[in-house]
């Protein structure tokens, strides 16, 4: 069959990409005043929960490539958000710690993120919002296999 019916508006991949760019713009605008960005935010979330994680642990937790994490952490160190300390038992390993300033950013940053999430899901019922999260989890699971 000739595939003349393919349309951007109905391609999940296209929609996801578009939506992701809009999210990035929205959150970027709000957390930039805090000195955060879309690349650093997930790392901060992981570290606000548990400091002292290794780069390898952060990589597994956040699902980015090791090289991406290494570069992100370098920028974060440059910008005074984290400090890398050598692991005492394994000289290959770096543990990652928040600076005092970075610890203080938690509540304001989460507040901005919550606002963006609320804005994005405006007009949805609680049920729809839960469905949306569940459907995304399904897609993530489907695309994560292997």
Contact residues for a copy of itself, defined by CB under 8 A: 2-3, 6, 8-27, 38, 42, 45-46, 63-64, 106-107, 110-111, 113-114, 116-117, 119-124, 128-129, 131-133, 135-140, 142-144
Contact assessment for residue 134 and residue 142, using Cβ atoms and an 8 Å cutoff: no
Is the CB of 108 or the CB of 129 nearer to DNA? Answer: 108
Instruction: Look at residue 86 and give the partner it binds from DNA, a copy of itself, none, a contact being a CB closer than 5 to 8 Å depending on partner kind.
Output: none
Per CB under 7 A, which of residues 12..41 are in contact with DNA? 17, 21, 24-25, 37-40
- Candidate list 11, 15, 68, 114; residue touching DNA; CB under 7 A: 68
Kindly report the backbone phi and psi dihedral angles of residue 98, in degrees, each rounded to the nearest multiple of 5, phi listed first.
-80, 150
Task: Look at residue 93 and give its three-state secondary structure.
Answer: coil
End-to-end CA distance of the chain: 31
Element (H, E) at 52: none
């Amino acid at each position: 069959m000739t595939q003349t019916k393919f349309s951007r508006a109905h391609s999940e991949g296209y929609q996801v990409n578009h939506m992701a760019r809009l999210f990035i713009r929205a959150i970027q605008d709000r957390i930039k005043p805090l000195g955060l960005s879309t690349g650093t935010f997930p790392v901060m979330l992981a570290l606000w929960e548990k400091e002292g994680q290794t780069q390898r642990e952060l990589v597994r937790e956040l699902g980015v490539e090791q090289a991406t994490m290494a570069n992100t952490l370098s920028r974060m160190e440059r910008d005074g958000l984290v400090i890398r300390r050598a692991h005492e038992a394994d000289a290959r390993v770096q543990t990652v710690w928040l600076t005092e300033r970075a610890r203080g950013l938690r509540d304001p940053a989460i507040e901005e993120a919550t606002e963006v999430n609320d804005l994005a899901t405006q007009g949805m019922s609680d049920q729809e919002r839960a469905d949306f999260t569940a459907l995304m989890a399904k897609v993530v699971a489907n695309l994560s296999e292997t």
